Structure 1
């Protein structure tokens, strides 16, 4: 368990580390649950820098830092929708994701919402289940021409 994590709002200067975590985590962690062609298509989302710049500008977007290295990130859309939560592939299962999730849940409450919602991958299902999220529905999602099995999960706060 990591004790000395720092959390702060993301800046545009963080983009190289954020997109690297996104790409590398998908390739290393999510490859257990998705095909090689799905992983390749999904990880290409890291290359859309304009979209990442807009996310940092528009959303509540946090990074987790350890010794000045970004080891995770998460952001909320519309004040209650957890759009992404990613932890560096070399820092999995060290409470970083849980701490980011708690902060996001608190922010959702401070935004005046009673429920947090997210669209998650198969790989994230156990993590969200262990944090008492309920599966609202299983769905197929298309991204860059590939179909993915994903889940919409919710939690009453």
Structure 2
């Protein structure tokens, strides 16, 4: 079921909703792929408000809204690197991530980059594969001293 959403540029006023959505999505959707300790460390990144404000100000950062509620967001770094895409757990499988990804891919093409690249979680990998992303390699990344398995994916545009 697709719901009616609007996509717009994020503002610093969106910060509380963005960080709450980030934390909640990780806690509620990634627990089948990561340990409780990993989830807690990963979700704690929501507390770093300076980093989130920097992303909103410096990156191409968009939010998806339904009835003035932020139901998803995505942000692009360096013009071609998808650094984050999250959808509220109550709004998943409704076309929101796809709409955000199409908007991000369009921006990459407008900026005339030949490909888009991202590091994606085990949880997100099937979504990106369905969108014709190719897995370059499986890797272990460290965040706050905790190791996380994820995948580098790319797509030629």
For this structure pair, what is the TM-score category when the shorter chain's length is used for normalisation? over 0.9
Shift of 1:30: 0.6
Rounded to whole Å, the distance in 1 between the matches of 2:99 and 2:114 is 19
Relative to the length of structure 2, the TM-score reads 0.99
Rounded to whole Å, the distance in 1 between the matches of 2:36 and 2:106 is 36
Report Cα offsets for 1:1-59 as digits up to 9, x if no partner: 23421000000000000001100000000111000000000000000000000000000
Q: Tell me the residue number matched to 1:9.
A: 9
Shift of 1:75: 0.5
Q: Tell me the residue number matched to 2:63.
A: 63
Structure 1 residue runs of 5 or longer lacking an equivalent are none
Report Cα offsets for 1:87-129 as digits up to 9, x if no partner: 0011111110001000100000001101000000000010000
Rounded to whole Å, the distance in 1 between the matches of 2:148 and 2:64 is 28
Q: Tell me the residue number matched to 2:34.
A: 34
Equivalent residues, number: 157
Listed as ranges, the matches of 1:87-98 within 5 Å are 87-98=87-98
Shift of 1:145: 1.2
| 1:133 is aligned to 2:133 | yes
Is 2:15–2:52's contact at 8 Å kept on the other side of the alignment?
yes
Is 2:3–2:94's contact at 8 Å kept on the other side of the alignment?
no
Rounded to whole Å, the distance in 2 between the matches of 1:60 and 1:88 is 20
Structure 2 residue runs of 5 or longer lacking an equivalent are none
SS of the residue corresponding to residue 123 of structure 1 reads: coil
Rounded to whole Å, the distance in 2 between the matches of 1:20 and 1:32 is 20
Is 2:74–2:86's contact at 8 Å kept on the other side of the alignment?
yes
Rounded to whole Å, the distance in 2 between the matches of 1:136 and 1:4 is 34
